[in-house]
Amino acid sequence: MSLRDPEPTVYNERTALAWQRTALALLACAAIETRLALAPLGAVAVVCVVAAVPVVGWVMLASRQRYRVHSGASPTGRARGGRAPAALAAVTVLIGLTELAALLAGG
């Protein structure tokens, strides 16, 4: 009986899980920031959640698809792309800028 190297499967799974927990953390931060920034900024604060929800949903679906492609379960589909990192970084920056605006408005 030959032993297959488990590492490729492990790396694939670890990466998919990392994407998903980062996306969930981002959603939680966006929701909390929106809630706390409503008082100083008003309805503008909703931009955090409005931007985060579709990005998080897309990252969750894309990470699952990438996992299936790399594991061989799905024969087609694009395995990798650079848009997801940019989208996560952009929403994180948006949350930070919203909080800076809330600090300035509240101060």
Partner 1 sequence: MYGDGTEPDPRFSFANERTFLAWIRTALALLAGGVALDAIPLSIPAWLQQGLAAVFVVLGLLCAVASWLRWAQAERAMRRAEPLPASRIGVVIAVGVLLAAVALLASGLWG
Residue 24 vs 50, nearer CB to partner 1? 24
Among 42, 50, 71, 89, binds partner 1 (CB under 8 A): 89
User: With contact defined as beta carbons under 8 Å apart, do 17 and 24 qualify?
Assistant: no
- C-alpha–C-alpha distance, residues 62 and 64, integer Å: 5
- C-alpha–C-alpha distance, residues 101 and 81, integer Å: 32
User: With contact defined as beta carbons under 8 Å apart, do 61 and 75 qualify?
Assistant: no
Closest CA to 27 of 81, 91, 84: 91
Give least dist CB 1 to partner 1, A.
24
Among 45, 51, 56, 102, binds partner 1 (CB under 8 A): 102
List binders of partner 1 among 26-85 (CB under 8 A). Answer: 26, 29, 32-33, 36, 70, 80-82, 85
Among 2, 18, 61, 73, binds partner 1 (CB under 8 A): 18
- C-alpha–C-alpha distance, residues 107 and 102, integer Å: 8
Interaction site with partner 1 (CB under 8 A):
7-8, 11-12, 14-15, 18-19, 21-22, 25-26, 29, 32-33, 36, 70, 80-82, 85-86, 88-89, 92-93, 95-97, 99-100, 102-103, 106-107
